[in-house]
Amino acid sequence: MNRTPVVVGNWKMHGSRAANASLISGVLSGVAPRGQRSAEVVVCPPFVYLADLATMLEQAGVGLGAQDVCTEAGQGAFTGEVSAPMLRDVGCTHVIIGHSERRAYYAETDEGVGRKTLAALSAALTPIICVGELLEERDAGLTYEVVGRQLEAVLRALEADPIGLSGLNRCIVAYEPVWAIGTGRTATPEQAQDVHAFIRGLIQSRDARIGGSVRVLYGGSVKPGNARELFGMPDVDGGLIGGASLKAEDFVAIVAATQ
Ligand code: PGA
């Protein structure tokens, strides 16, 4: 199965107009021109900067993602929320859903992640669905149980909706062990591969073709020095990059590591 790798930069709550301009120009001058890249490239700045960057990124063939989206797809009385059609309207192509920081600090539930996935797909956005276990869960041998539960919630939401399981063809899954995020402690390529194979297997058990083609990214302290080894694993199709996406040179090197 030939899957095009994807490298996604999750800027989290970082940036300013001035900093973004120099970061983006560094990224665009460092990555190969569109059509000649070894990977799809997506950047996810904070909401308020999305519209600023949309035209430039579109011209360069780089995807633009938000870091979250409202569960409600329409307009309405949801103060502070941003809907999927709004993200689409300002030029987004992707959206990160269920990042562990949203789950931990903003009480995001498995069920909410399922609803957000549907909202994103309905607006023709590519959801980047994050799953991953805490350190205590890994230590207790619960990794597959936790990741399986998180993923099942999304599969169930799709199956219960007219979109159906085939909506997964338009999704990207990101495995991010929480203990590896921002800690400098990366999963070993073997640890990542094990969970990626589990994720793919779970999807394959529902639909072999979709399971074979869905892209599963690894996230958690990916750096230029470890990216190639991680991306070399058979079920690792690229990365979701936090800290290293804030340095153009590092992000570009990580993109190059997909070759
Ligand atoms: P990190 O973050 O690369 O800084 O570990 C990854 C993420 O949270 O998406």
Counting ligand 1 atoms within 8 A of each CB, the residue from 130, 222, 251 with the most, and so the one to mutate, is 222
Which positions ≥6 away from 75 have C-beta within 8 Å? 83
Angle in degrees, CA 85, 90, 92, rounded to 5: 75
Percent of the chain as helix, strand, coil, to the nearest 5 = 50, 15, 35
Contact 42, 8 (CB under 8 A): yes
* 99 flagged as catalytic: yes
Q: How far apart, in whole angstroms, are the C-alpha atoms of residue 154 and residue 259?
A: 31
CA of 160 to the centre of ligand 1 (A): 31
pLDDT at 182: 87
CA of 92 to the centre of ligand 1 (A): 21
pLDDT at 2: 83
Ligand 1 atom nearest 219 alpha carbon: 6
β-pair partners for 97: 129
**Residue whose CA is at the smallest distance from ligand 1 atom 2:** 242
pLDDT digits (tens, 9 = 90+) for 25-75: 999 999 999 999 999 999 999 999 999 999 999 999 999 999 999 999 889
pLDDT at 184: 84
Contact 161, 118 (CB under 8 A): yes
pLDDT band at 185; cut points 50, 70, 90: confident
- Output the average pLDDT for the chain: 97
Sequence spans of domains, the chain: 7-30+37-236
pLDDT digits (tens, 9 = 90+) for 139-180: 999 999 999 999 999 999 999 999 999 999 999 999 999 999
Q: Is 245 in the pocket of ligand 1 (CB under 6 A)?
A: no
**Residue whose CA is at the smallest distance from ligand 1 atom 9:** 242
- Check residue 77 and give left, alpha or beta (phi > 0: left; psi -120 to 50: alpha): beta
Q: How far apart, in whole angstroms, are the C-alpha atoms of residue 213 and residue 220?
A: 23
* 14 flagged as catalytic: no
> CATH assignment of 7-30+37-236, given 3.40.50.11890, 3.40.50.720, 3.20.20.70, 2.60.210.10?
3.20.20.70
pLDDT at 1: 65
- 0.95 surpassed by pTM: yes
Task: Provide the token pair at 168.
Answer: 């997964």
